[in-house]
Amino acid sequence: MKLLLDEMYAGLKEYLETLGYEVLTAQESGLKGAKDRDIVEYARKYGLLLVTQDQKPAEIAELLGVKCVFISSVLVARLVDEEIKKQKL
């Protein structure tokens, strides 16, 4: 699966590639500072799954039928909660 990382997740590229994904960042794709719609359109044009923490591009992706992983604060909080519970504090 090919991924497009929104600007804030460029630092995850190496990790995701290590896990076997083909990854492009918004910066590499010439999308630094681009409008949300342009980022989503790029993902659609090239068949990429968009990874973002911004709600607006996630919603635009949903409207346009573009695959997207939305890393919301709620999702992060749930992951942290799971890890804390594993520590049996």
Q: Which two tokens stand for residue 65?
A: 């039928």
Q: How many CB atoms lie within 10 A of CB 6?
A: 24
The DSSP bridge partners found for residue 5 are 25, 51
- Distance, in Å, from the CA atom of 76 to the CA atom of 22, rounded to the nearest integer, reads 23
In CATH terms, is domain 2-86 a member of 1.10.3470? no
* pLDDT the model gives residue 25: 97
Residue 22 has pLDDT above 80, yes or no: yes
Q: Model-level pTM? A: 0.88
* pLDDT per position as a tens digit, 28-53: 999 999 999 999 999 999 999 999 99
